[in-house]
Chains A and B, each alone.
Chain A
């Protein structure tokens, strides 16, 4: 049986074209708009996504930070109250259990936001590795989450949240109330735009949805689905678990070194990462020949030798050409690769990541 998020009825009523995604029924796009229109709305104005499928795990107690520091590659000792930080969750072999966000409420309370597809795996992994005085609570099923993304997101939020309660900087959050109900307002997202993620209890979800939609409409906001979420994160070159990485991908093969602090005293997988230098790397390509490089397509160098594969690929609505992320041998260093698309080899050009960067 497929799970429904607390926004399910609202989403269906609004014309969501529902598909199965990580065990949930979620909209891939909406009637009357479609992936490209929803994508463009986020880049130019705003888009609203139901992201309740994401998992939320709380760790509290005197040793919560000790537990976290042992679990993750990034350094959370410098994270401040109200701060959010991206990190990898490695396994003993240096592979990736998940990529996650960590929120710090105070020195003894943290929220870990995990990928829907990995929620139970992560919960089991973390719960089995609690140190000292650390309490574990999996709030995933009780938490509703919306992502309001785009340059107009700030104007929309100002319509219903006092300015003092709006987190001013990227990767910060505030706990506040909406019509008396507690919410978490986080200046984060998965689109490469400014925007917010709003968390609330399931019981308040429909009302929160209505409030955001009512004010969003005034600013050209569209409801957006999984299709646009994927094209937006692709342009921003944000990796997606199960595509760019999995349990076998070494943490340092992803171009995410900003989130790996090898100088940290110790963490799970640190020894394995020290012992095993990266064999692969993540690169971005732009198609030169006409065609779209999709996931799993083979990648060749100029001599015709296979050097890796495509991890995600799509048409970029903002750039209006096909882009992809590829996983290739670490030593590869040339301006072009060839992608095998239905028995033909199409030429592509290596381009810097991200494909799209918003103007500040």
Chain B
């Protein structure tokens, strides 16, 4: 069973490890990703609110946080190698959050897969 939960806007959240990323479906829709704009360690993020941006060659898209809390780590590797998101979106985490409260209303893997098939 998947350890990820999702927002309808295609971000995943790993409850176990606090990491946030975007889904494989999202990276595929975006196409070649060339830039990721992330918050800084110590910044607060809020569930359902934008925490950064991801730019593909085509366009820029906002990233929404599945969870509220404090950013305790960012994936520095994505600054120089944003294409890692295209290669393996489930592994290419963006930020690690120390949640201030348990997230609510996230989709399970099954629910998310159903959503993107529609």
Name A residues whose Cβ lies closer than 8 Å to a Cβ of B. 28-29, 34-36, 227, 231, 290-292, 294, 314-315, 317, 322, 342
Contact = CB atoms under 8 A, between A and B. Distances in A.
Interface string B60-101: 100000000000000000010000001000000000000000
A34 B56 CA distance: 11
B35 A291 contact: yes
B106 to A, nearest CB: 26
Interface in B5-45: 31-32, 34-35, 37
Nearest to B35: A292
Contacts of A342: 37, 53
A290 B35 contact: yes
Contacts of B57: 35-36, 227, 231, 314-315, 317
* Chain A interface SS verdict (over half): mixed
A-B complex: 7 closest residue pairs judged by Cβ atoms: A315-B34, A36-B32, A35-B57, A35-B32, A34-B32, A292-B55, A315-B57
Contacts of A227: 31, 57-58
Contacts of B55: 291-292, 315
Given A290-B79, A342-B53, A28 B58 contact: yes
Contacts of A36: 32, 57
Contacts, number: 39
Contacts of B86: 34
Contacts of A29: 31
B31 A34 contact: yes
Interface of B: 31-32, 34-35, 37, 53, 55-58, 60, 79, 86
B5 to A, nearest CB: 28
20 contacts: A28-B31, A28-B58, A29-B31, A34-B32, A35-B32, A35-B56, A35-B57, A36-B32, A227-B57, A227-B58, A231-B57, A290-B79, A292-B35, A294-B60, A314-B57, A315-B34, A315-B55, A315-B57, A317-B57, A342-B53
Contacts of B58: 28, 35, 227
Contacts of A28: 31, 58
B7 to A, nearest CB: 20
Given A315-B55, A315-B57, A317-B57, A292 B31 contact: no
A35 B35 contact: no
Nearest to B29: A17
B35 A315 contact: yes
Contacts of A290: 35, 37, 79
A289 to B, nearest CB: 11
A29 B32 CA distance: 10
